[in-house]
Amino acid sequence: MEANESHELQEHAEHGAHESAMRPVAFTMSVLAVLVAMTTVLGHRTHTEAVLDQNKATDQWNLYQAKKIRSNDTALIVDLLHVVSVADKETAQQTLKAYADHQAKWDADLKDGQKKAEELEHEVKKSELRANRFDLGEALLEIGLVITSVTLLTRSRVYWYLGLAFALGGVVAAALAFFIR
């Protein structure tokens, strides 16, 4: 065996040792990439849920407002019938009774409508809070992935540990989204 071949074998063995030492780092990067992808999808879906809930809340408030306008119009007509003299008193009394019945129904509907709209707004806030947690988790996981990848360039495990710390923070932030009720 020549000196060149011996030197090449030694370099190849050292290179293989460095590669095997970096396998846990590469595996960590793969796991972090999967976690980033999962957190991103969960964040996007939660943002979509918040938008859909906001649309439902807006629709509910629009329905509430329409009923409120009808209720106010009825109250104005009742006031008008009390002030204006009507030729057919019996028909006027029947109309007033019908309007009073409508008014009672709309009052109950308004309370229910307002309650539903407020509940939907609460759902929107919860969805937005969950989405924000997923976004924070995603950002921390991405930072952890990038810092971990620096380990492959520098061969310094300090970056791997630092990347793991950021990744752990990202996992915790994303996991906290599931506890928001």
Average pLDDT of the chain, as a whole number: 85
Q: How far apart are CA 110 and CA 146, in angstroms?
A: 54
Residue 169 pLDDT: 97
Residue 8 pLDDT: 57
Residue 82 pLDDT: 72
Per domain, the residue ranges of the chain are 24-179
Q: How far apart are CA 95 and CA 172, in angstroms?
A: 64
Q: Which amino acid is at 122?
A: H
Residue 97 pLDDT: 80
pTM exceeds 0.85: no
Residue 3 pLDDT: 54
Residues across the chain:
181
| Residue stretches of the chain with pLDDT short of 70 | 1-19
Residue 137 pLDDT: 96
Q: How far apart are CA 171 and CA 100, in angstroms?
A: 58
Residue 14 pLDDT: 53
